[in-house]
Amino acid sequence: MTEAAAHEFRFAVNVLPKPGILDPQGRAVEGSLGHLGVTGVSGVRVGRRVELVVAAADASTARAIVDRLAHELFSNPLIEQYELEALNAPVVEAAR
């Protein structure tokens, strides 16, 4: 009986509108800043963040799985770009 020694790797995928693609949520945020009395904020872009845990034999295998999911499931490659982020922290978050 064989048993693969799988480790757990935690990643985040940050998905944002590609430069030049209309970002209506970003514009809406910028339109709200005046009501809050906030000045000096620009370049607001609103996207998604997906965090996940992958059990795999090694980090590069895990990253390849996350890259495939990011491309096929988490983003629309026509209008969005994504970046992968390896997370070292444990699964339970400390921040509020």
Q: Nearest 5°: phi and psi at 7? A: -115, 160
Task: Name the 3-class secondary structure at 65.
Answer: helix
The verdict on 59 binding its own copies (CB under 8 A) reads no
Beta bridge partners, 83, equal 14
**C-beta of residue 86 within 8 angstroms of C-beta of residue 65:** no
Confirm or reject binding of residue 67 to its own copies (CB under 8 A).
no
Contact between 86 and 44 under an 8 Å Cβ cutoff? The reply is no
Shortest distance in whole angstroms from residue 88 CB to its own copies: 14
CB nearer its own copies, residue 1 or residue 20:
20
Q: Which residues bind its own copies (CB under 8 A)?
A: 6, 10, 12, 14-16, 19, 26, 29, 32-33, 36, 38, 40-56, 65, 68-69, 72-74, 77, 81-83, 91-93, 95-96
